[in-house]
Amino acid sequence: MTLVHEHEESPAAHREDAPVPSAAPLMRMATGFWTFKTLAVALELSLFTRLSAGPHRTRAELATELGLQDRPADMLLTACTALGLLEKDGDAYRNTPLAEQFLVEGKDCYFGGVVRFNDRAYLAWHDLGAAVRSNRPLTWDPDIQTTLFSSGDPDFTGLFWNGMHSLSAATARVLGQTYDFRPHRSVLDVGGGSGAFLIELRRQHPHLTGTLYDLPHVCDFARDRIASAGMAEHVRITPGDFQREAALPGGHDLILLSMILHDWDERDGRALVRKCHEALAPGGVLLVCELLVNRERTGPLDAALMGVNMLVETAAGRNYAEDEYLGWLHEAGFADTEILRFDAAGANGVIVARRA
């Protein structure tokens, strides 16, 4: 037993000269949903698309165009300006470069699909406590579906893959500028979804060809995206199930796993990494592109919160730490690994693993 005498000060005792911490960070956490819903409603109203299509408009003009009364228009425009999405010049508003680049419908970089997909999960997050206690997803029922991605519902498929296309395209642009793709000729994108990675990588590196490998109903969605991007001659589509099939398509010197491994449990993740190793010839490279949790499991924040999202959206997925991925890769037979750091919407780095 440790006794603290009255004349002695406990290490935990309050010191009058100690600075009092501010509760402001807690207030920002407690009101984080305000930011998201402001952005979601502005996109719902096509605010940024309207401002891009014509001259700068005043609050009164925008209120009329959006069908809003003056009071909510004032508050919405003020909030979007404070968020760095609008600029105000006198009485007129215009898009900031960020909004003009990513929030205007019809542009290649349009990020609204991510916002709309996350809006679908917004109400599910209200019941996060249930997911934490039960270890069961909230946005789908594992007693009815085998995975989140097995739904054949066209509305969900379109919403999900439009969102993922926005996220993947934004991430692929940064990956294409970070990793040196010049030594490679053919990329296999496992779980390639809508084809966003292969489309963007081909745009940046025209010498590349690619194969998209995903579930049949996903391939149907990807086929239209790839064709509309003018990439049908350069990107082959191969339907398949990387969990059930014994081997991945061969003949590629580079395999990409982008935002894939976090959807599954450790056993499935290790199995997929082994299949990638078996599908590569000596000298081939596997890229694991993810929001990597650090070795200490203290962050970064976006990677840690994506892990919580895996509770809501998946039955067994998690955001793994970089040393866990490195362990899987070495166990599978990859002898040479390195991590390239970057800052992108869907990933904060890529693990480069070479087959000896």
Catalytic residues: 262
- Give the chain's largest Cα–Cα span: 82
Please state the separation of Cα 116 from the chain's center in Å.
13
Write down the residue that tokens 């199930």 correspond to. Answer: 241
| Contact partners, residue 106, CB within 8 Å, separation at least 6 | 49
Among 236, 105, 100, 234, residue whose Cα is nearest residue 162: 105
3-class secondary-structure state, position 18 = coil
3-class secondary-structure state, position 166 = helix
Give the separation between CA 185 and CA 211, rounded to whole angstroms.
11
| Contact partners, residue 30, CB within 8 Å, separation at least 6 | none
What residue type is 307 in one-letter code?
G
Residue 163 · residue 117 · CB < 8 Å: yes
